[in-house]
A and B are shown apart, each in its own frame.
Chain A
Amino acid sequence: MTAATDQRTVLAVRDLKKHFPIKDGALQRVVGQVRAVDGVSFDLLRGETLGLVGESGCGKTTLGRVLAGLEKPTSGGVYFDLSEQQRTELDQALRAGQGEDLAQLEAAHRVDRLDATNWRRFRRNTQMVFQDSFSSLNPRHLVSDIVGRPLRVYKEASGSALTERVVGLLEQVGLGRQHLYRYPHQFSGGQRQRISIARALALDPELVILDEPTSALDVSVQAQILNLLHELQQNRGFTFLFITHDLSVVRHMADRIAVMYLGRIAESGETTGLFDDPIHPYTEALLRANPDLTGDDEGFRGLEGTVPDPARPPQGCRFHTRCEYATPDCGWEIDDVVLQLEDTPALFDKLVGVERRSPFDADLEFVDASAAAALETALHGDEVPSSMKAAIEQVSVGAQTVSIKFREVNEVLLTPRGNDRLAACVLDALPSRD
């Protein structure tokens, strides 16, 4: 593992949110928000590799794009290039709320408030390698244009000096002078990804965001690219943010890992510790579902259910709807009852409306009294998880309505678990499996 030698923070992310509006109707009125990234905080230290893992739709790519400055955050901040002291000041200022200190720090470091000069400095120091090298390389440009473009934009070189710089870059990624005047389609997938990497490295950036750089490649080529990335990091001290869904790859590459679920970080920590001893049930589920060459069949298992709608994330812990260790304190709510109802069409068809007083307390109205009674029995049945039953504080059946009140819980936040580990789970540790 490469320990970060310099404690400079390349990126400090504080309560970052990125919501996308859902528009509907003839007037395109905003009817909701897809909470793609919903309150993410972490630090990225110089020279380290942070792995960001999660299922599709968990917001990891959006987060990468916001960090690269390709999208403006909805709220929260990304702060670029802070010293140790500045970072402490930032945290203090943020805790204190509005203030002169904060305004000063934000003007100089907050990515969406930078002035033109600092913005240019940020952009050239943050480069991105995209997943699909087919669509991220312009098919009508030569390799010399593609790799040389950043150098030209920042007026680093021109003419024959530019060509020499490009050749140097190509040689670093294992290509050569003979590839200068070719088009992207003349290369294989692995070679195209090397071109993308050469382009990202052209300006010697501080941070490289790698968004699934190897998921379109074969294993033998993937190994070449991973070795190349490691070698480049060793020689030139880059900071990597490695976004991927492949746990074997991230385990190999990352010093620290953040596991994302539905726009939030579920667990983060040092790689070996996190893999050997996951705290969050979601991390465990991901690890169990990952096929690897060691280990036996016993542990290999998938995860029930689907990722909930990010426009209406579950209360409490976002993972409680699929969690096998769920407790009554995990945030059971009215939406969970509605989901159960959807699986019993006979009852669901009779549901007229849901009147919510809060996410935990609502009246469900049915067309007739028998359906209401049937729901009440169903809530005590085997279909309903026992932890959900335990979370129900009150059920009262009216003429055609059922009022249900769940135990109210707060959002489950990331809490420190020792050894640099953070996890967002109500449990202290995973129950043992014996």
Chain B
Amino acid sequence: MTAPATNLQKTDAPVVASVRDLRVHFKSKAGIVHAVDGVDFDVRDGETLGLVGETGCGKSVTARSFLRLVPMPPGIPVSGSIMFHPRQRCTACDGAGCVACDHTGRVVSTCPACSGTGCSTCEQTGAETLDLLTIPERDLRSIRGNRIAMIFQDPGKALNPALSIRKQVAEVFYAHRSDELLASAGIDPSSHSLPTGLLRRRATQQSRTLENVLLSLPPLRSRRSAITAAADDRVAAALAETQIPNPRAVMDRYPHELSGGMKQRVMIALALACDPDLLIADEPTTALDVTVQARIIELIKELQQRHKTAVVYISHDLSLVRRVADRTAVMYAGRIVEVGDSEQIFHEPEHPYTRGLIDAIPGAHHERGRLAAIEGTVPELIDPDPSCRFAGRCDFAAEVCWTRDPALEPVGDRQVACFIHHPPEHGEAPTFDRTAR
């Protein structure tokens, strides 16, 4: 795995996003479903955080909350915050990487309210802080795909089948980099003349029919095609970065003409086009073959190292997360049960659920028919009682597990939500040696 030195570095790294007490519920006929019920974690700059759990544990809802992609209704935002600290290009080296920005080419944006001295809006950190759950939709639009990007599970469904790859990827640049496009086309973006206005609207894909007619007339036509050419160059560069052979030819293809692995590469190119601070990958390889999956993982890792992007990697596959993530958070029934360094978690799981999951993966050491299955099924999340969500399937559950909620508290370098590690003040605590397995 990653060398200890880099791990240390990563734990010291500044926090890019912190999720606090996130609760997202859903209305249903049977009652309120507590899909995500009090989730806390931090994502640090440049690290990969793995988010693992079984179907329905709330990992996708958590991820989608970052970009407010959970449909409301039926979703109900109950409480919580996702504090995001956007970063900006390092002024000392202009993005090339220097000592001031720790060779990332980026520095933390300063808080606009106090200009970096520390105030109540930025919780005395001096860094610009945005609560992704409350900022206006307009501001969020400038973050989506720009500062925070997302890769979805099924690239076949995430790409628009009616648009060529060129148009889909170019859209990112038109939406977030229109000034750069104008500049590369030799147009001064700050000018207020009518032609510039028309071209600016063109570069943000806002042109109406009449404007398009005007733009196709000789005086503007060449400059319009310069904008298109600038966008094309960027699209080709973005595709080339994900090791797509022959990007110029791929640009004119439609999604159905590409293989699954190639489509996922296009998705990654799209996501990383604007050099985001945070990349959310929601099961990006589940629909792919193992051989292709391994290639995509290598690619994500390599690009992450180059861009120094923080990645939240969501998967149900523990063995994969072990390969990918620096830190891992294990989710169960809307809660995080254990979070910590990946190597530690997979080597010595502390929470009974994590233990169960790891034992359930068939390996060379298992005798056939003796897989340690976790008996029972995930509990209904409709109006749950205060109790440990895992108590019904836990081999070690004691009285207290049925009556109180364990909180996520530190154990060594990790955080675990279990009474085994945090005995309650009253009543008998569960222990690992209660029942021999």
What residues make up the interface of A, taking CB atoms closer than 8 Å to B? 1, 55-56, 188-190, 218-224, 226-227, 230-231, 234, 245, 247-249, 251-253, 275, 285-286, 288-294, 296-297, 300-304, 306, 342-343, 345
CB of B358 within 8 Å of the partner chain:
yes
CB of B316 within 8 Å of the partner chain:
yes
Of the candidates B246, B249, B289, B364, the one whose C-beta lies within 8 Å of that of A56 is: B289
0/1 interface trace, chain B 300-320, chain A, CB 8 Å (1 if under): 000000000000000011111
List 20 contacting pairs A-B, 8 Å CB cutoff, sorted by A. Answer: A190-B377, A218-B316, A223-B361, A223-B371, A226-B362, A227-B371, A230-B368, A245-B290, A251-B362, A252-B368, A285-B291, A286-B291, A293-B318, A293-B319, A293-B322, A293-B358, A294-B363, A302-B293, A302-B298, A345-B249
Of the candidates B298, B369, B375, the one whose C-beta lies within 8 Å of that of A230 is: B369
0/1 interface trace, chain B 368-387, chain A, CB 8 Å (1 if under): 11111111010000000000
Give complex CA distance A365, B377 in Å: 64
What residues make up the interface of B, taking CB atoms closer than 8 Å to A? 1, 54-55, 245-246, 248-249, 259, 261-262, 289-298, 316-320, 322-323, 346, 356-358, 360-364, 366, 368-375, 377
B362 contact set on A, CB distance < 8 A = 223, 226, 248-249, 251-253
A253 contact set on B, CB distance < 8 A = 362, 368
B317 contact set on A, CB distance < 8 A = 291
Chain A interface secondary structure, helix, strand, loop or mixed? helix
Q: A227-B370, A343-B245 are in contact. Are A297 and B294 (CB under 8 A)?
A: no
A345 contact set on B, CB distance < 8 A = 246, 248-249
A342 contact set on B, CB distance < 8 A = 246
Which among A55, A252, A293 has the greatest number of chain B C-beta atoms within 10 A? A293
- Asked if B294 contacts A303 (CB within 8 A), the reply is yes
Q: A223-B360, A343-B246, A345-B248 are in contact. List 5 more A-B contacts (CB 8 A).
A: A190-B377, A224-B375, A227-B371, A293-B346, A306-B259
- Asked if B294 contacts A234 (CB within 8 A), the reply is no
Q: A248-B363, A302-B291 are in contact. Are A291 and B369 (CB under 8 A)?
A: no
Give complex CA distance A343, B244 in Å: 10
Residue of B nearest to A222 (CB): B360
B295 contact set on A, CB distance < 8 A = 302-304
Residue of A nearest to B321 (CB): A291
Give complex CA distance A397, B426 in Å: 90
- Asked if A252 contacts B366 (CB within 8 A), the reply is yes
Task: Report the minimum CB–CB distance from A30 to chain B (whole Å).
Answer: 23
Task: Report the minimum CB–CB distance from B257 to chain A (whole Å).
Answer: 13
Task: Report the minimum CB–CB distance from B416 to chain A (whole Å).
Answer: 19
Residue of A nearest to B316 (CB): A218
Residue of A nearest to B298 (CB): A302
- Asked if B374 contacts A220 (CB within 8 A), the reply is yes
B357 contact set on A, CB distance < 8 A = 219-220
A252 contact set on B, CB distance < 8 A = 362-363, 366, 368, 371
- Asked if A220 contacts B356 (CB within 8 A), the reply is yes
Task: Report the minimum CB–CB distance from A10 to chain B (whole Å).
Answer: 20
